[in-house]
Amino acid sequence: MKDAKAFTLVELLVVIAIISILAALLFPVFLRAQSKALQTVCLSNMHQIGLAISMYDQDYDGLYPYGLDPADKHEPNLWAAYPAFNAQIPHLPMLHTILMPYVHSSEVFHCPADSGFQIDEQTGAQIDPNSNPPNAEPSSYKKFGTSYFYHTVLCVLHLNDSSLPYPSKTLIMQDGSGMWHGGQFHLDLRYNTLFADDHCKLLNYYQLQASWDEPVQ
C-alpha cells in the first residue's frame, strides 16, 4: 500500500491563509455577539434594580432612596449648591447598600462589561466625562461596589413618582462609563439607563445628556 501523499509547503501555506482569512472575518462577529450579550445582562441588572427601587418606594411613602452613588461620595462638591445635603454626604449610605434587602445578590450591581474608568495622567482630563470618581480600577464594581450611578437629585429634592411630570423621560440610573457598551469618543459612547417608569434603554452620549436635563419637578 502506497503512503498517503503529504501536504506540500505551498498547500500548507494556502490552508493557513484560508484559516486566517476566515478568522479575520468571524472574529468581529464574535466580538459583537459578546458585547451584545454583556449589554443585555447589564440591562437585566438595571431592570432588577428598578424593581428594587419600586419595592423600596412602597416601604418609604413613595420616596426615592436617600442614598449616594460613587460620584456623590468621592466628589461631594457636586452638591455645593445644596449645602444641607452636602453636609450629610459623609454620613449617608450608598444606594446599592440601601437596596440590598430588595435584591437577591450584590451581582445585580455589577455590569459584566465594567472595565472601570480613569483620569488621563497626561492631561488630567477624565476619559469618560460623565464619571466623576477618579481611577475606578480594576472596575467600578470592585472599587466602589457598584457599576451604576444614581440620579441623586431625586433624593436630594425628596421626590416620589407623583413628583415627576415625565416618568418615561426621567433618568433614575446609568452605568458608569459610556465606553463599556460603546467606544472612547463622544460620538460612540453608549450608556445603559434606567427610567422612572422602570423601562431600560441604551442611550448615546447626547441622548443621555438630554435625559439628565429633563425636569424632575
Tell me: the pLDDT tens digits for 34-93? 667 888 999 999 999 999 999 999 999 889 999 999 889 888 888 999 999 999 999 999
Q: What is the pLDDT of residue 45?
A: 95
pLDDT cut 70: percent of the chain above it: 80
pLDDT bucket at 127, cuts 50 / 70 / 90: very low
Residues β-bridged to residue 200: 194
Instruction: Give pTM, 2 decimals.
Output: 0.78
The set of residues, in sequence order, having a beta carbon less than 8 Å from that of 142 and lying 6+ positions away, is: 116
pLDDT bucket at 163, cuts 50 / 70 / 90: confident
For the chain, strand residue ranges (E) read: 148-150, 171-175, 190-195, 200-204
Q: Comparing 15 with 101, which gets the higher pLDDT? A: 101
Which residue ranges make up each domain of the chain?
Answer: 9-212
Q: What is the pLDDT of residue 215?
A: 67
What's the alpha-carbon Rg for the chain, to the nearest Å? 23
Tell me: the pLDDT tens digits for 91-105? 999 999 999 999 989
